[in-house]
Amino acid sequence: MTNKSLGQNQTPLAGRFWRFAVLFSFIINLVLVIALIGAGIFIFDIKKQLAQPIIGGLRVSFDEMNQASIITTIAVNDTITVNDTIPVVFDLPLNQATNVVLTENTAIPQTTVFLNGVPLQTNIILPAGTSLPVQLNMVVPVSQTIPVVLKVPVALQVPVNIPLAQTQLNPPFTRLSSIVAPYDDILSGLPSSWAEVFGSP
């Protein structure tokens, strides 16, 4: 077989391969163009209705959670045991009439008694058990330590207002917001229509 005959056999094969390659390339390019056109038609809807609401909503939610507060009322029902001593120091004024009972015989020497109107000096002995009326007029100092043991029931409604920014939840919310923020800024800076792309009013 000569070189001429080999060239004649290879030429139709190369031509068919070339035509197939051109056709395949055209089909691929056509598919890519159609895909780009389809993406161009729906890209702004995807941005406005899907990407931006999700990313922007996450950013706003994280910021609002970081600024939120836990507001509630806690019911406290308990019994508190009080075990203490209370010092009591004060002056107690006494001004009253009372009876004093003698506990033993009491002598009253050189007492003047009147017998038939005549004064006589004598010694008088008051027997034990004699009741004598007296008028008390004095100030009594009081200094005592009184033990106090009590069980005090407690029923309270305690209002609570805890800002989340002052709790351990603040760092995670701040980090989540900072992660989402760049993507939200990028989406906000992108055009929302072909008119914005080409600068049309």
Question: What's the token pair of residue 91?
Answer: 């002056």
pLDDT score for 6: 46
- DSSP letter assigned to residue 164: G
Q: pLDDT averaged over consecutive 10-residue blocks of the chain (201 residues)?
A: 49 75 88 80 76 86 89 92 91 90 88 82 87 89 91 92 89 89 85 69 55
In this structure, which amino acid lies at residue 109? P
pLDDT score for 78: 92
Which residues on neighbouring strands pair with residue 161, listed in sequence order?
71
pLDDT score for 16: 78
Spell out the residues 6+ positions from residue 197 whose beta carbon is closer than 8 angstroms to its own: 191
To 5 degrees, how large is the angle CA 42–CA 25–CA 43?
10
CB atoms within 10 A of CB 106: 13
Quick: pLDDT tens for 97-144: 999 898 999 888 888 888 787 888 888 888 998 898 989 898 989 999
